[in-house]
Amino acid sequence: MMTTPAERLVEAEEGRVREAFRPVAKQSLSDRLARRIRKLIQSGNYQQGDRLPAIMEMARRFGVGHPTVREALKKLEAMGVVEIRHGAGVFVSRSQEVLLLASPDYAGIVTRKLLLDLVQTRIPLEVEAISCAARHATPAHLARMRELLDRAVGNLDDDEQLNTANMGFHREIALASNNSVLAQIVNVLSDLFGDEQRLILDIFGSRAEDHREHVALLEALEARDEALCAELMRKHLEGVRQAIILWNPADHPLSGVAG
């Protein structure tokens, strides 16, 4: 049935109202907890080098599970606020002067250009991160990367778990760079564009190939081959960029993405 201009105007206005009242992106529980722990450090007279309460104690104090506390602490470690010393505890790295890059509440429309911009931004950052990580990664960093890739290969059919493990792997590389600002930038990009990263995973298509490339990156890190690390990371992210360029929404539609 043909609609009149007046009816189309009403429909358009209703669409604008729905868009105005769509839900905004929510911070995760670990994000909120990370902010609370930062406040605890800043208001509790903790100095650089001081040990924080045990994870079990923080979980009890904040009323959350141990995994949430660990995730929040990993975020703070990426920001340079704390240092996690396996077997020893969590220590304050700095209580002030933490760079706050952005608030993780981005809620824009996803387009092909946004996905390309995201990957294009990641390329120089993560090439530099892995180059530095080849020199500075500790055995604990490498063990954590191996753990994340083992989790990824066991969840190739679970997009949520796979994306979490994959982005955790990239975050761990940035953390191993020994550059707290670089680690923060990579961390903030992951927080701001978590949904977009999941869409990129779907566009890339071959989860097995993506995993093989991640394993190659880890092996280059373990060999301390800085040049190979940089080459493989650039090739990995360029491959993602090409997949987005070649992606045809008509053949492979994704919910929530404009062409």
Q: Assess whether pLDDT exceeds 60 at residue 83.
A: yes
pLDDT of residue 100: 45
At 234, which amino acid appears?
A: R
SS3 216: helix
Lowest mean pLDDT among 108-122, 138-152, 218-232: 108-122
Q: Among residues 137, 167, 187, which one has the least CA distance to residue 240?
A: 167
CATH number for the region 110-258 comes to 1.20.120.530
Residues 56-66: pLDDT tens digits? 999 998 899 98
Cα separation, 189 vs 101, in Å, equals 10
Residues 9-32: pLDDT tens digits? 556 555 544 443 333 334 578 888
CA dist 1 → 4, 7, 8, 14 (Å): 10, 12, 12, 19
Q: State the residue for tokens 């602490």.
A: 73
pLDDT of residue 146: 96
Going by their DSSP bridges, the two strands 110-111 and 257-258 should be labelled as parallel
Q: Higher model confidence: residue 151 or residue 45?
A: 151
- Domains of the chain by residue range: 29-92, 110-258
Instruction: Note whether 102 and 192 are within 8 A (CB).
Output: yes
pLDDT of residue 25: 38
Domain 29-92 in this protein, CATH class: mainly alpha
Average pLDDT over residues 99-114: 55
Cα separation, 96 vs 204, in Å, equals 40
Average pLDDT over residues 62-75: 89
Q: Assess whether pLDDT exceeds 90 at residue 232.
A: yes
Whole-prediction pTM: 0.61
Q: How many residues does the chain have?
A: 259
